[in-house]
Structure 1
Amino acid sequence: MASAAWANWKTTAAPWTVGVEEEVMLLEVDGSPAWRSEDVLRVMPDELSEHARGETHGLALELATNPHATVADATAELRTMRAGLAATVRSLGLRAAVAGTHPLVTAEEVEVSPGARYQFLHQSLRELARREPTFALHVHVAVPDAELATRALNGMRAHIPVLLALSANSPFTRGRDSGLASARTPVFQAFPRTGIPREFDGYAEYVESIDLLIRCGAIPEPTFIWWDVRLQPKLGTLEVRVMDAQTRIRDTAALVALVQCLVRCEALGTCAEPELAHAPEVLDENRFLAARDGIDAQLLDPHRDRRVPASGRLATLVDACWPHARELGCERELQLLAHLAGDPGAARQRAIASEPAGLRGLLHTLQAEFSPPRPQLALAA
């Protein structure tokens, strides 16, 4: 086992639990950005502030649930936290919303948060820290030990393009249609240490690859690695980070269920598909195609020398996940994937923005959908 103290793997008596982290944007009533995360954190009730923190940019907050045995419980907590944040920001005359990007913000107006971590980022990344803000969905799944987690990490690399395609929810940036389903992806990739990680022979090799950067002073600690999927030893989890934040909680629930099932499947070695491509150049190209075209992407299949629809690959993954969904109690949420694939975030945003109110109308819709009065997690919703 690697000797780096940060690499000690936290074991848990309850493997496969899930935790959700959601990045939220703060808005003025008219939808313009509100660079007031510190103000919001100061007035936040204690029970919510324990689960919230600032982000790189002053209009962003992250909400983080506790670990839960079921996706239903995790998303129920997220719904409660959204409601609490909505009430908090309203007390300041503000609003909150979720999407992969703010459709109108430009880098020139970005304000970096005052916290020490974010000022360090500004110092080390220079003007890259002032890129347009992005908002992601991160899902943690507890894995019993480090070697199983490394096996799952290696396997999850092949699923990154489908997860990105399905979650794409950021077509607009700088007030324009980017032509992409996930503009968040290339914008965030301006940061170093992003993208799909390489394959690792075992946990010791994973630890050494990161500890080398720490020893040489490139990064202060492991969370400055922003790969699409990474290990979190102090939590005992594998963290999937590639997905755009979802406007609707029912879509979040569907994605969390898929991630939970896939991580368990890959860790236990029960969903290996020989035809899945792990070659870095193929994965990187498919990642780009997923960001560009979303669930309509045609992904490279080098084994057949042709392209295959991302939707077809999703169907195959869901079939492999059903036995795990039954074990984990997330069948209902896994079924919601069909709704998300049929009504993806990027297409919804474009449809709303095509109305006379344009992007301002879209921002008002995003506000309205942040914490609606009725629960959204329903199969008929």
Structure 2
Amino acid sequence: MGLKFNPSKPFTVGAELEIQIVDLKTYHLSESSDIIFKHASENLKKLLHPELLTSMIEIVTPVCETPEEAVHYLKKAVLEIDDIGKSFGFRSAALGTHVFAKKETTHITAKERYLRLLEEFQILLKQFLIYGLHIHVGFPDKETAIKAYNTTINNLPIFLAVSTSSPFFFGEFTGLNSYRTKIFEQLPRAGIPEYFDSYSEFEEMYNMLKNNGFIESIKDIWWDVRIHPDFGTIELRVCDANPDLDRIEFLITLFQGLCLYSSVSEEKRYFHQILKQNKWNATRYSTDGKFLDESGTSGIKSKIADIIDILKNKGVFKELKTEKRIDSLVKLINEETISQRMIKEFKSYGNIVEIEKFGFIG
């Protein structure tokens, strides 16, 4: 059975940001998603999706021509959500985990899909107090999409490193910069996926899982990057949710550029253990981690700078009309990530509840 790839406008972008709803005074999770849906304008409702937890909501942009446009939609949505929250005592936050919430104090949204997943994954899903940023890039055909997918696998750690925002979980400092990553990897269809030589190989794998009852749709595959045939996109899923809208724009711009470049480049394939080591380096150390490739070991910051230089020299950002924006955003490589700022605050003052405020957007 074929898995049809629906072409989309080449290299358009979209973003999905999973946000926490937190109490204005205590920073505890606030089970207020129903309130947001009830009071949202019609325009906002078009951007909102219910999520696993009743204290969680997802903002989904429409298809956008530029990363700047996608971030504009996220910002407008957040502003309206926070405006609603003023009357009910909550606001939005975007971190990869909630800093101190416990699984006993949260409730799963009573949708059939989520209840089915809970039955399957048991305690694993009960501790899913995690939040991500997903980025879509559109492709004209499945062959171009597969090339971009394979290229992205090699570069997952650079996107994770820039986005890290989850060093705390259940009220403890984990010692990692992205604990969300380790929680997600416990699921059987999550983490770093395998390369595919062709789209038909991906179809074969997908059909084996679906025809034997292990998945119902592509939504049941949670890889760090996945092919999304329904939308005609490649979806980057490795990033922690992040409150810094400039940082989100940087991530979208870099991913969009890498996808375009992949259509004219050939990427080397790495041993899976090398891919895992590089991802661990980003998980543990954020942008201070190391990156191993065929030329040896370099810093993740240096790797990102090298990729940006390659894309610039090939005219990628110029073709995408993002050259000026990437020049203004590239400074973020050398700035502390959200997780690094959180860890520094904790080591200086030790007030774990107050650290949740780092997730406030804008």
Q: Secondary structure at the match of 2:54?
A: coil
Q: Which moved more, 1:137-146 or 1:54-63?
A: 54-63
Look up the match of 2:149.
153
Mapped to 1, the partners of 2:13 and 2:239 lie a distance apart of: 16
Mapped to 2, the partners of 1:309 and 1:68 lie a distance apart of: 32
Mapped to 2, the partners of 1:199 and 1:193 lie a distance apart of: 14
Look up the match of 1:321.
311
Q: How does 1:27-38 map to 2 (within 5 A)?
A: 27-29=22-24, 30-38=26-34
Mapped to 1, the partners of 2:189 and 2:330 lie a distance apart of: 30
Look up the match of 1:375.
none
Conserved? CA contact 1:106–1:132, under 8 Å = no
Mapped to 2, the partners of 1:173 and 1:255 lie a distance apart of: 24
Q: 1:311 aligns with which of 275, 292, 301?
A: 301
Look up the match of 2:10.
15
Mapped to 2, the partners of 1:162 and 1:74 lie a distance apart of: 21
Q: 2:19 aligns with which of 21, 24, 28?
A: 24
Displacement, 1:132? 3.8
Mapped to 1, the partners of 2:33 and 2:348 lie a distance apart of: 31
Conserved? CA contact 2:157–2:279, under 8 Å = yes
After TM superposition, the score normalised by the length of structure 2 is 0.94
Q: 1:166 aligns with which of 154, 162, 165?
A: 162
Look up the match of 1:224.
220
Q: Secondary structure at the match of 1:113?
A: coil
Look up the match of 1:280.
272
Conserved? CA contact 2:167–2:339, under 8 Å = yes
Conserved? CA contact 1:18–1:68, under 8 Å = yes
The one-letter code matched in structure 2 to 1:137 is L
Displacement, 1:366? 2.8
Q: Secondary structure at the match of 1:58?
A: coil
Look up the match of 2:290.
298
Question: Which 5+ residue runs of structure 1 have no aligned equivalent?
Answer: 373-381
The one-letter code matched in structure 2 to 1:21 is E
1:52-89 CA-to-partner distances (Å, cap 9, x unmatched) read 11211222111010111111111111111111111123
After TM superposition, the score normalised by the length of structure 1 is 0.89
Query: How many matched pairs?
Result: 358
Q: 2:51 aligned with 1:55, yes or no?
A: yes
Q: How does 1:289-368 map to 2 (within 5 A)?
A: 289-301=281-293, 303-304=294-295, 306-322=296-312, 323-335=315-327, 336-354=329-347, 356=349, 358-367=351-360
Conserved? CA contact 2:304–2:333, under 8 Å = no
Displacement, 1:232? 1.0
Mapped to 1, the partners of 2:7 and 2:119 lie a distance apart of: 35
Mapped to 1, the partners of 2:292 and 2:357 lie a distance apart of: 38
Conserved? CA contact 2:98–2:129, under 8 Å = yes
1:343-372 CA-to-partner distances (Å, cap 9, x unmatched) read 2111112233345472222223433xx1x4
Q: 1:258 aligns with which of 249, 254, 260?
A: 254
Output the aligned Cα RMSD.
Answer: 1.7
Q: Secondary structure at the match of 1:230?
A: strand
Q: Secondary structure at the match of 1:358?
A: coil
Q: Secondary structure at the match of 2:243?
A: coil
Question: Which 5+ residue runs of structure 2 have no aligned equivalent?
Answer: none
1:151-170 CA-to-partner distances (Å, cap 9, x unmatched) read 11111110011111221111
Q: Which moved more, 1:17-26 or 1:202-211?
A: 202-211
Conserved? CA contact 1:24–1:135, under 8 Å = yes
Conserved? CA contact 1:23–1:135, under 8 Å = yes
Q: CA 1:124–1:204 in structure 2 vs 1: closer, same or farther (change >3 Å)?
A: same
Displacement, 1:18? 0.4
The one-letter code matched in structure 2 to 1:325 is F
Mapped to 1, the partners of 2:99 and 2:183 lie a distance apart of: 13
Displacement, 1:317? 0.8
Conserved? CA contact 1:105–1:132, under 8 Å = no
